[in-house]
């Protein structure tokens, strides 16, 4: 019989050693993938030069930056899909200035006619696809506090993105296959409170990527799972240690084509992901929550905390969807209840004046 002291002394040590080794090897792979291998290897993009590259969400952020990085590497034919005609035309002119051939298709992934999109793409010789369509939200909220925002997130980031992939796969396969790059998120690796709908859709997309890659022999699928990128969706306007610019992200992500099926996309984000190798999820989920509470506070300050608190106090408040201040109702741990007394006092002082 194994003595109890063996389990007390050795088993925890073995487990900690296992976690440290996982983290170490993940770090070695990150250095190799982003710093060493690119010095000797470049993605074979010339094969897609004469075929169409279809980009969803290509008028802003990561999608646009990735498309321009492809153009810098010799890809010259693009079909850009987006809902804003003015932005589509602007990006088209920028690419045409780089000697690219560009087609645009105005389409809303929330309520668009996917049959029309499918018919439009059916006869195109598609060799490369960048699926970066997605919407964000102004506040971090509990699931169900604003059902309309949850529904939009699930419809666009989930079903819209998934159906777009089903539109491009048949013409890709008919023309000999190709490369598909799909934008997911690190927030799709594990369930993230206050971002429930977003986290769920990114997990859905990551699962679909692996399934499609195994189902289609001629189509290579890469799933990018970045952390924070300085885009309109995250409300960061510049890069930092933990927040990369779209251009930096795209430059590093393109160089991982053919090397990794699923990656964070850039070295900075890969380092951030090391923490999930170091700690088990049962511990990590508690360590991460203060980060999301702080992010919630940041978003409230950014968009107008006073109006958000008023909406919290009056659930019947009907705020315009495009307003800087939207209806926010969060759990007692959020920053809203802590601000109620201050805002009420502010209103009382104004009434006395």
pLDDT tens digits for range 251-300: 999 999 999 999 998 898 899 888 888 888 888 778 877 777 777 777 67
Q: Determine the 3-state secondary structure of 54 from DSSP.
A: strand
Rounded percentage of the chain residues whose pLDDT exceeds 70: 80
Q: Determine the pLDDT at residue 349.
A: 44
Segments making up each domain of the chain, as ranges: 1-41, 42-272, 278-352
Phi, psi of 137 (to 5 degrees): -145, 160
336 in Cβ contact with 308 (< 8 Å): yes
pLDDT for 169 beyond 60: yes
What is the token pair recorded at 71? 């153009």
pLDDT for 176 beyond 70: yes
Q: Determine the pLDDT at residue 334.
A: 43
Q: Determine the pLDDT at residue 279.
A: 83
Phi, psi of 160 (to 5 degrees): -65, -45
Q: What is the DSSP code (8-state) at residue 229?
A: B
pLDDT for 331 beyond 80: no
Separation CA 303–CA 136 (nearest Å):
14
- Radius of gyration, CA atoms only, the chain: 23
Q: Determine the pLDDT at residue 322.
A: 39
Q: Determine the pLDDT at residue 85.
A: 93
Question: For residue 237, with 0-12 CB atoms within 10 Å meaning exposed, 13-18 middle and 19 or more buried, which class applies?
Answer: exposed
Q: Cα angle vertex 96, ends 90, 98, to 5°?
A: 115
pLDDT for 218 beyond 80: yes
Q: Which helix (H) or strand (E) covers residue 345, if one does?
A: helix 335-352
pTM of the model: 0.80
pLDDT for 110 beyond 50: yes
Q: What is the DSSP code (8-state) at residue 145?
A: S
Separation CA 40–CA 255 (nearest Å):
11
User: Could you give the C-alpha distances from 158 to 68, 82, 105, 201, 254, in angstroms and in order?
Assistant: 25, 16, 20, 5, 24
User: Could you give the C-alpha distances from 335 to 145, 177, 293, in angstroms and in order?
Assistant: 15, 50, 8
The β-bridge partners of 129 are 54, 180
Q: How many CB atoms lie within 10 A of CB 11?
A: 10
Instruction: Kindly report the average pLDDT of the chain as a whole number.
Output: 82
Closest by CA position to 179, among listed 56, 39, 43: 43
Separation CA 191–CA 197 (nearest Å):
9
Closest by CA position to 43, among listed 258, 248, 221: 258
Alpha carbon 82 to its chain centroid, in Å, reads 17
Phi, psi of 224 (to 5 degrees): -95, 130
Q: Over range 310-315, report the average pLDDT.
A: 43
Closest by CA position to 212, among listed 198, 222, 200, 226: 222
Positions marked active-site = 198
Provide the H-helix boundaries in 216-280.
246-254, 267-272, 275-278
The tens digit of pLDDT for each residue in 17-59 reads 888 999 999 999 999 999 999 998 888 898 898 899 999 988 9
Q: Determine the pLDDT at residue 194.
A: 86
Domain 42-272 fold: Rossmann fold (3.40.50)
User: With bands split at pLDDT 50, 70 and 90, how would you rate the model's confidence at 200?
Assistant: very high
Provide the H-helix boundaries in the chain.
4-9, 11-31, 61-72, 85-96, 114-121, 147-153, 161-174, 196-215, 246-254, 267-272, 275-278, 281-303, 305-313, 335-352
Separation CA 249–CA 265 (nearest Å):
6
pLDDT for 79 beyond 70: yes
């Amino acid at each position: 019989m194994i003595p109890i002291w063996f389990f007390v002394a050795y088993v925890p040590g073995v487990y900690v050693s296992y976690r440290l080794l996982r983290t170490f090897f993940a770090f070695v792979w990150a250095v190799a993938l982003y710093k060493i291998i690119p010095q000797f290897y470049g993605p074979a993009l010339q094969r897609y030069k004469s075929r169409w590259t279809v980009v969803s969400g290509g008028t802003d952020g990561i999608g646009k930056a990735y498309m321009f990085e492809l153009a810098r590497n010799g890809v010259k034919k693009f079909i850009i899909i987006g809902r804003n005609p003015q932005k589509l035309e602007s990006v088209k002119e920028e690419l045409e200035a780089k000697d690219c051939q560009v087609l645009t298709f105005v389409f809303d992934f929330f309520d668009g006619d996917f049959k029309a999109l499918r018919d439009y793409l059916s006869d195109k010789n598609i060799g490369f696809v960048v699926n970066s369509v997605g919407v964000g939200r102004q506040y971090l909220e509990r699931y169900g506090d604003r059902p309309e925002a949850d529904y939009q997130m699930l419809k666009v980031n989930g079903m819209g993105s998934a159906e777009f992939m089903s539109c491009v796969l048949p013409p890709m396969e008919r023309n000999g296959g190709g490369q598909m790059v799909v934008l997911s998120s690190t927030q799709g690796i594990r369930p993230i409170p206050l971002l429930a709908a977003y986290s769920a859709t990114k997990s859905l997309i990551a699962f679909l990527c692996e399934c499609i890659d195994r189902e289609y022999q001629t189509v290579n699928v890469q799933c990018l799972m970045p952390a924070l990128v300085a885009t309109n969706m995250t409300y960061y306007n510049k890069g930092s240690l933990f927040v990369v610019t779209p251009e930096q992200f795209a430059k590093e992500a393109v160089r991982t084509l053919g090397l990794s099926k699923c990656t964070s996309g850039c070295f900075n984000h890969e380092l951030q992901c090391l923490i999930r190798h170091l700690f088990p999820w049962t511990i990590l989920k508690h360590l991460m929550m203060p980060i999301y509470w702080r992010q919630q506070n940041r978003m409230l300050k950014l968009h107008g905390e006073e109006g958000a608190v008023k909406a919290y106090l009056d659930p019947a408040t009907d705020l315009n969807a495009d307003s800087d201040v939207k209806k926010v109702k969060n759990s007692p741990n959020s920053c809203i209840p802590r601000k109620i007394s201050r805002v009420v006092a502010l209103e009382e002082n104004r009434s006395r004046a």
